[in-house]
Structure 1
Amino acid sequence: MSDAPPIATRLWDLPTRITHWALVVLILVSWLTGGENMQVHRWSGYGVIGLLVFRLYWGFFGGETARFSHFVKGPGATVGYLKTMGRRTAGDLVGHSPVGAVSVVLLLLVMLVQVSLGLFASDIDGIESGPLSHLVDFDTSRLASDWHELTFRVLQALVVLHVAAIAFYALWKRQNLITAMITGKRVFSGPVPNLKFAPVWSLLLGIVIAVAAAWLIARGLKLPKF
Structure 2
Amino acid sequence: MKKYAILLDDTFCTGCNSCAYRCIQEFRYHDQASKGLFRTFVQINDDGLYQKRCMHCLEPDCVENCPVKALTKSEYGPVLYNAQKCIGCQTCVRVCKFHVPQFDADTKKIVKCSMCAHRISEDKKPACAEVCPTGALQFGEYEAMKKLAAKLAKEKKLKLYGYEENGGTHLFVLAKEDPTKFGYPKVAKKALKGKVSLDGGIGVPAMAALAVAGFKKYSERRTRIEAEAKKAKK
Higher alpha-carbon Rg:
2
Q: TM-score, normalized by length of structure 1?
A: 0.24
Higher relative contact order, chain-length normalized (CA < 8 Å, sep 6+): 1
Greater strand share, structure number: 2
Greater helix share, structure number: 1
